[in-house]
Chain A
């Protein structure tokens, strides 16, 4: 406890100060965004928790009617959806990820602060959309997994599932934007000296999580888009009578759903890997193996989705394959458990509430992991599917794993976030109530499941012998609820009368503990130099000894330009557009659902206006980048370029899912026109034109890079007009199909064709718009040599769209002729 940092000599205003309500609405500071995520997630957590308690009350005794069967369905659906999309993910990523990534890697903000604010507001709008069923149309009631074809209009009339589809689409988009943002931030904005192998383990977990998000969410988006088309435009993507299969939804959903489990687990592992070393006063045991196992889990998580589908009858071979891959995941997960134990072993432990919860997580998650290995075995799983055993398993993983880690991280980082301490006494009470309540609620479910109690039933008969354990569980659930009540009390107590927190209350190891609590808006007055793992620990106790801290503090207090002035650290300006745009997107969704087209139009116009507004806010065309310290990055690649590349990566999966669906569905199509309707010569021509537009784009970029503004404009105009010709050809193609009797809903072939090619066309249209804006800027003479990057980014996207078209042209058009021959 030697080197507690001295308070800084100059007053550094906290990020929480100033701005008023408008300041919060327009903020793009990652710390304020994180706090807003936390507030909304805590509200939704209370809601989801109350729903859970209502469910338990209903199951208290046989044949009760606290809730009706329909309300019960709605409650378990909303409990799952809320806890996953509106509580655990926002808390892990939006709250802790947002707050800590820049602080732990020594940066001043995330790579795209405005996008970050947009993510938050969209997430909030999504949450509100999901809950609008309270007001009109009823709550969604098809389970959080929304299995087709229960979700079709025929089986679920009314608005309930419309809210669900649209809400999840908005929420998914927001999460993808967050993933893109985090990925770019971690790749590009680490402080000098922080190599990958020196990153805190929490950052490692978020890096891998953000890659998982980018690749895992597109299949869900596709699945939801199909459902949206089915519900609103009368297609039949999941309707058996049209030749389709509801199993497609399960494949798409679980292709997302299993990586999603790790999206919620990996950051939790990261939190534990921060809390445990700090409280053991030892470096993390087996750091490289820890990082390795995180990456390995991510690798494996894409080959295991089938273990959610053993009961659909995939056949013995596919079942065995998924069983093997699922069992393999236990190995890297086990590595983590042993690494944590190895870290604790022989450490000088400090038993704070955060550490209690970390220990609780290791214990409970291990139990959940053990039942997970049981599920991996297909024959065993067939006995357990849809029974309470599964409910027990995933609550041990998601509550015992993710939620305990969140609580641990919450107690650990609260002083840094608010500048006040939480009560340890209340915290310990909360811990004991939570762990007792948790195990009392969920452990007996293993037995109930084995005795045959099915999931998702709203009541059970007295003669089943399930009554006593259910009553035990309900008591446990209310103890658990009491524990959370203590947490809310602790929060308010701390904010009202909490003891003021020092900068480094736990003698921490990573950089966030080196700055004031709460941090100033700019985080670091001087970007720190990193000389090893546990960067702050090395400064405190490294070879430089106590002088390290003094030197560091001095550098923070008076950066090398002697006239240090907080106001001179230029931070990006606040913006109202993220909020406006999210509201506009929400309006569009609302208009679609309640079938009021005027609102859709207003929403669409407002969305476009806010995009334009945002692009004008961006440090204008012709000006230098706003923050020279952040502009360069990994190997001199601009952050925007990394952002566009990761977006493209995500889009690849999007189109791959669409194309696969097309290939599967065209052969299942019943009646009506098929591939023979395609006009190959015409499409070859438009393909050629699109390819030529890519060539012109290359020429335009080359002209821009050598500063030749005249040819830049000419080539750019050429690219745009070729793009427009291509779109015109597509419009002609679609109309002629329509005249020949092939509409969107004619058969499986037509609907998967129109959705695939139509989405590609939409991408081309967006590209044309993007290039047109750039052409406008070029006309105003604001797209000089120094802004060639703007053109390069648009060009990357344009080439990508063209490459996708080549794939579509080959697989959808050309391969049809090969097959016919």
Chain B
């Protein structure tokens, strides 16, 4: 793996993000917790990896790896970023006067959901996808768009800023459940297609010795089953949190304070 290989923009971007992170911490004068720093480091590593090693394979016309790359960009990096960035670091930006209404609108669950779905569905249309494969700048733009809309998508679940809050646990589960609809809408036609959808993969050498058709099905399946399983694991975590919180028994109030005891008629007591 050569870090400064074909895409110097990636390490430069990552370095800029790290500098921003450290700089913000320094300017505000607060340190992220150890856990947050770890999540952030993981996010940076994920960005670096998906855009070097995976990118090479994806450029070698392996569709499945390209789909894996998209998966990481939309489902792994954004949650890591949200977990790794403390609220106090974002607050000065997202709550600033000109930006607040925009962020407030964009982080509305319905808006975030629709935006992400629109980006994701549109990007897989043959015409757009082909252009992405052939035009490197457009490719970079789309990948950035994936990550940005991914951050919006995950905001209602992992928001670090209480002013733009997370959804309640049951709503989070419903949100993830509904997410399977656009995901399946993209993955199912790719998996079940009987011909090659994206001609790019039939031109030129195909990495790993995969046949283009098998590769396409594998990629479709990765999106379908892979994303599905991933969402299910996330949902399991959410459910666990929820059942712990919602389950707690409220301590019984002293009898005198309970409203129904005030209308208690001594003669009507049950005995035994």
* A interface, CB within 8 angstroms of B: 2-3, 5-6, 9, 193, 195-198, 211, 215, 288, 291-292, 295-296, 298-300, 302-303, 314-315, 317-318, 321, 324-325, 526, 529, 531-532, 542-544, 546-547, 549-555, 557-560, 649, 652-653, 656, 660, 663-664, 803, 810, 815, 818-819, 821
Contacts and interface: CB of A to CB of B under 8 A. Distances in A.
Contacts of A291: 239, 243
Interface stretch (B27-35, B156-164, B221-229): B221-229
B71 to A, nearest CB: 16
B246 A819 contact: no
A317 B191 contact: yes
Contacts of B224: 303, 321
Given A195-B246, A815-B127, 13 more contacts: A3-B270, A196-B170, A288-B247, A298-B177, A299-B228, A318-B191, A318-B221, A542-B252, A546-B269, A547-B255, A554-B264, A649-B178, A653-B181
B249 A549 contact: no
Contacts of A195: 246
A3 B114 CA distance: 54
Interface string B238-267: 011011001101101001001111011100
B87 to A, nearest CB: 23
B133 to A, nearest CB: 15
A317 B214 CA distance: 8
A280 B252 CA distance: 26
Contacts of B250: 193, 531-532
A815 B185 contact: no
Interface in B194-246: 214, 217-218, 221, 224-225, 228, 231-232, 235-236, 239-240, 242-243, 246
Nearest to B260: A555
Contacts of A529: 259-260
Given A321-B225, A324-B225, A649-B178, A550 B264 contact: yes
B189 interface: yes
A685 B222 CA distance: 40
A546 B231 CA distance: 47
Contacts of A325: 225, 228
Return the 7 tightest CB-CB contacts between A and B, nearest first.
A288-B243, A197-B246, A317-B217, A555-B260, A550-B269, A818-B127, A197-B247
B271 interface: yes
B192 A314 contact: yes
Contact of B185 (A197, A544, A557, A660): A660
B173 A295 contact: yes
Given A324-B225, A546-B270, A550-B270, A302 B114 contact: no
Given A3-B270, A3-B272, A197-B247, A552 B260 contact: yes
A550 B272 CA distance: 11
A818 B247 CA distance: 53
A529 B264 CA distance: 15
25 contacts: A2-B272, A195-B246, A196-B246, A197-B242, A197-B247, A211-B177, A288-B240, A291-B243, A296-B236, A299-B235, A303-B184, A317-B191, A529-B260, A532-B250, A544-B252, A547-B269, A550-B264, A550-B270, A553-B270, A554-B265, A555-B260, A557-B268, A653-B181, A660-B189, A664-B189
A341 B178 CA distance: 33
B265 to A, nearest CB: 6
Nearest to A817: B127
A317 to B, nearest CB: 4
B221 A317 contact: yes
A704 B266 CA distance: 53
B126 interface: yes
A351 B42 CA distance: 57
A317 B180 CA distance: 20
Nearest to A6: B270
B243 A296 contact: no
A318 B225 contact: no
Which interface residue of A314, A550, A818 has the most chain B CB atoms within 10 A? A550
Nearest to A560: B263
Contacts of B128: 818
For the complex, would chain A's binding face be called helix, strand, loop or mixed by DSSP majority? helix
Contacts of A298: 177
A3 B177 CA distance: 43
Contacts of A302: 180, 184
Contacts of B255: 544, 547
B141 interface: no
A532 B249 contact: yes
B246 A531 contact: no
A303 B183 CA distance: 11
Interface of B: 114, 122, 125-128, 170, 173-174, 177-178, 180-181, 184-185, 189, 191-192, 214, 217-218, 221, 224-225, 228, 231-232, 235-236, 239-240, 242-243, 246-247, 249-250, 252, 255, 258-261, 263-265, 268-272
Given A303-B225, A544-B255, A652-B181, A295 B239 contact: yes
A555 B228 CA distance: 49
B114 A299 contact: no
Contacts of B228: 299, 303, 325
A197 B243 contact: yes
A555 B191 CA distance: 60
Nearest to A292: B239
A674 B214 CA distance: 31
Contacts of B180: 299, 302-303
A3 B269 CA distance: 11
Nearest to B236: A292
B221 A550 contact: no
Given A5-B270, A546-B269, A551-B261, A318 B181 contact: no
Nearest to B261: A551
A810 B122 CA distance: 9
A296 to B, nearest CB: 7
B268 A553 contact: yes
Nearest to B127: A818
Contacts of B170: 196
A544 B255 CA distance: 8
A634 B240 CA distance: 22
A821 B128 CA distance: 12
Contacts of B235: 295-296, 299
Nearest to B269: A550
Contacts of B271: 546
A531 B185 contact: no
A9 B267 CA distance: 12
Contacts of B258: 551
B261 to A, nearest CB: 6
B92 to A, nearest CB: 30
A299 B263 CA distance: 47
A318 B214 CA distance: 11
Contact of B218 (A317, A544, A653): A317
Which interface residue of A195, A325, A554 has the most chain B CB atoms within 10 A? A554
Contact of A299 (B177, B181, B249): B177
B239 to A, nearest CB: 5
Contact of A551 (B239, B243, B260): B260
Contacts of B269: 546-547, 550
Nearest to A317: B217
A537 B239 CA distance: 26
Nearest to B128: A818
Contacts of A314: 192
Contacts of B225: 303, 321, 324-325
Nearest to B232: A299
A656 B271 CA distance: 61
B217 A318 contact: yes
Contacts of A6: 268, 270
Contacts of A299: 177, 180, 228, 231-232, 235
B272 A296 contact: no
Contact of B268 (A292, A554, A649, A818): A554
A688 B25 CA distance: 46
A288 B218 CA distance: 35
Contacts of A547: 255, 261, 264, 269
Contacts of B252: 531, 542-544
